Amino acid sequence: MIRVLVTGSTGFVGCRLLKTLEKSEFEILVVSRLPHPDHETIVCDLGKEQVPESALETVTTVFHLAGYAHDLHDPSQAEHLYQTVNVCATVQLAELASQQGVKHFVFVSSVKAGGSAKLGCCMTEEDQGSPEGVYGRTKREAELRILEVGRQSGMSVSIVRSSLVYGPGVKGNMRMMLSGIEKGWFPPLPEIGNRRSMIHVDDLVRALLLVAIDERAKGEIFIATDGQPYSSREIYEAMCHVLCKPVPQWHVPKLFFDILCMVHPKVRYKIKKLFGDECFSSKKLQSLGFKAEKSLMNMQD
């Protein structure tokens, strides 16, 4: 019986990972602030406590999804929390896993750890820049430190940098946009030719399971996308289709959004995210045999 430990099991991706693991003959242990109704739970708040040493004694594989990722315009107010959860808790868990003989440690990071996207090209794992923002910086620091834990201990550490995740139950800005289109207040976006990489939550789960068993993934970082970059307009139209709403044949001019950018820094930040060019390549992950099975049209499936 393979015993796996999952952190972040109540999150968007974590819930889908658990459902997939439940279909196989895995013995599942979760780390959570509250007891899980269906699985053995190590009750622990990673922002305040350390995982007990005995928690990983018989664990074979760790899937570490827990992290602090709030989309804040000024996250400096929560700098300590980012450092504590994204770095300290991750490193402590990896060190404990190596000490207890865990074979595989899979860490869910973010493309933001690779630095700012480059206009006009799809970034790879080799295009490592300086991460912008406390979220990207703490994810990158955690990556470097747990890779070192793996090198020193021999434990297989694999890192998956996820692009923007979509799928049923999506949260954050994607949920707000979807809700806005459904209710009729989100404006039809113009086609400006930008490219944004994304991945369906179920394909991301498949990627995590793949790197957990493929020996070629040891000590490596992989970017996960569905292989199809989308423009903001294409994302808007896909959301209209999944909501069974007609796609407007008109759009709000980009100039309107440029003017809005001058209103307030927070508005400028949101619009920059909406129209930004963030393209990434998942060819390295595909070299392991990964192929996305879903597209943006499966957002609600």
What whole-number distance in Å separates Cα of residue 124 and Cα of residue 140? 15
Distances (CA, A) of 227 to 6, 197, 253: 27, 7, 29
- Residue 167 · residue 109 · CB < 8 Å: no
Concerning whether 230 is annotated as a catalytic residue, the answer is: no
What whole-number distance in Å separates Cα of residue 24 and Cα of residue 18? 10
CB neighbourhood size of 151 (10 A): 12
DSSP state of 57: T
- Residue 274 · residue 232 · CB < 8 Å: yes
- Residue 59 · residue 5 · CB < 8 Å: yes
What whole-number distance in Å separates Cα of residue 82 and Cα of residue 171? 19
Per-residue buried b or exposed e for 257-281, using 16+ beta carbons within 10 Å of the residue's own CB:
beeeeeeeeeebebbeebbebbbbb
HEC secondary structure over 225-242: CCCCCECHHHHHHHHHHH
From 264, 113, 240, select the one nearest 188 (Cα to Cα): 240
Of the residues 68, 135, 166, 236, only one is catalytic, namely 135
- Residue 225 · residue 199 · CB < 8 Å: yes
- Catalytic positions are 135
